[in-house]
Amino acid sequence: MRSEANYIVEQVDKHHDWFGKSLPMIASENLISPLAREMLVSDFHDRYAEGLPGDRYYHGNIYVDKVEIRATELAKKLFKCEYADTRPISGTVANIGILKALGKHGDSITHTALSDGAHISTAKFGAVGIRGLVSHTYPFDTHEMNINVDAAKRTLLEVKPKIALFGRSVFLFPAPIAELRDTLEEVGCAVWYDGAHVLGLIAGGKFQDPLREGAHVISGSTHKTFPGPQHGIVIANPKDDKMARRLSSGIFPGVTSNHHLHAMAALGISLAEHIEFGADYSDQIIRNAQALGQALHERGIKVLCEHKGFTASHALALDVEEHGGGALGSQLLEDSNIIANMNMLPRDTKPRSPSGIRLGSQELTRLGMKESHMSEVAELIKRIIVDKEPTEKVKLDVINLKKDFSTIQYCFNEGHPAYERFKLV
């Protein structure tokens, strides 16, 4: 059996080697800092801590409690909110917990349609359906790649949902919560913002500020534009104490038992790092995404929303139908060591053969790339997608470009042993 274990270690080593030589551009991924990564292999990983600090069902949590209290304080500081829960073990779990807290079987919820970029966990056949909520989608303006505000007002007044949900996986522009605020207040619903993708940008003050625009609660993954561990978070300015209590019990005992203490410790460090570096990092992420959009556009690749500067976030949506579609395009990119995913565009109906490719700038930015490097990346993508140059040939140039970008930035690096140990080579 040892050889089986060796096999697995070998594959992970190969993966590391491959990613060290690749351009990672999946919009939902990121690199955790070396110091935060060290927490993931700590003894916290091996322990249980059900409940809340000071009110546990297990012993041995003296230091776990201190970490959880501090991580929660850091989250409240970073997001300028009254309530934070660092226990959800992923964005999906945070979402299910919120659904449990705010809705019950038969209640109505409004949200963006899957085909317009919403996430499966907020779709009828995801967690919304599991919770037994009746789902209504917002009318969507595909030219603007955003909710149609006037039509959405009508939907909200007609449906009178218990929960109005905003947020998407192809999240190019801020959700129009501020524009819908009066209507949302008239309806009196709970306003929930799924910020999984844009959490880091929100924290950096560069995208939108949902809690100040009318949202009561935000859920998020902590590993996309927020460059932390694979984990989740709930942050809120609850309407009242009852909502706060329900949010807390929605996560535990609602949808978690143990809450992955190693990841929570890593999250604490990532929160501290984002307080220090988040504004600069988010600013550069958005600049890079816009520069990449422009550079791709100049090279004959259709990038959605040219009239709006392509994006206001980390993400870009490419329409590559005329170049063979998203499945072929993303495969050719992978063959050339550029990692991205095929993506449905609003007109698509077949998830396995979509017209689009989604790109994110957050990980390349984390490695120190700036606007000028985006032209080099765009040129490589064009050679693959448009010119159909042999992938082996382009791959050599990808590897060459990546050589100068192996150090994780925007974090507490220097002077810590973890930095050397986990430095990408």
Ligand X SMILES: Cc1ncc(COP(=O)(O)O)c(C=O)c1O
From 91, 268, 325, 346, residue interacting with ligand X (rule: CB under 6 A): 91
CA distance to 115, 122, 319, per residue, from 343 (Å) = 10, 17, 9
Is the CB of 35 or the CB of 175 nearer to ligand X?
175
Dist CA 52 CA 384 (whole Å): 51
Helix axes 241-249, 91-102, angle to 10 degrees: 130
Contact set for ligand X, span 223-252 (CB under 6 A):
232
DSSP string, 206-217: SS--HHHHT-SE
Smallest separation (angstroms) from ligand X to the CB of 168: 6
Dist CA 258 CA 253 (whole Å): 10
Q: Render the burial of 141-156: b for 16+ CB within 10 Å, e for the rest.
A: beebbbbbeeebbebb
Dist CA 355 CA 319 (whole Å): 6
Region binding ligand X by CB under 6 A among candidate stretches 87-95, 158-166, 178-186, 341-349: 87-95
Is the CB of 153 or the CB of 197 nearer to ligand X?
197
Dist CA 364 CA 316 (whole Å): 14
Smallest separation (angstroms) from ligand X to the CB of 96: 9
Region binding ligand X by CB under 6 A among candidate stretches 30-38, 181-189, 192-200, 281-289: 192-200
Q: Does 270 bind ligand X (CB under 6 A)?
A: no
From 72, 86, 110, 221, residue interacting with ligand X (rule: CB under 6 A): 221
Q: Does 153 bind ligand X (CB under 6 A)?
A: no
Q: Does 92 bind ligand X (CB under 6 A)?
A: yes
User: Closest CB to ligand X belongs to which residue?
Assistant: 91
Q: Does 168 bind ligand X (CB under 6 A)?
A: yes
- CA-nearest of 25, 19, 37, 119 to 362 is 25
Q: Does 30 bind ligand X (CB under 6 A)?
A: no
The C-alpha angle with vertex 312 and arms to 307 and 315, in degrees rounded to 5, equals 100
**Which is it for strands 146-147 and 140-141: parallel, antiparallel or unpaired?**
antiparallel
Q: Does 382 bind ligand X (CB under 6 A)?
A: no
Is the CB of 221 or the CB of 336 nearer to ligand X?
221
Q: Does 28 bind ligand X (CB under 6 A)?
A: yes
Contact set for ligand X, span 276-335 (CB under 6 A):
none
Reading the block at residue 340, the tokens are: 């991205």
Report the interface residues with ligand X, using CB under 6 A. 28, 90-92, 95, 119, 121, 167-169, 194, 196-197, 221, 232
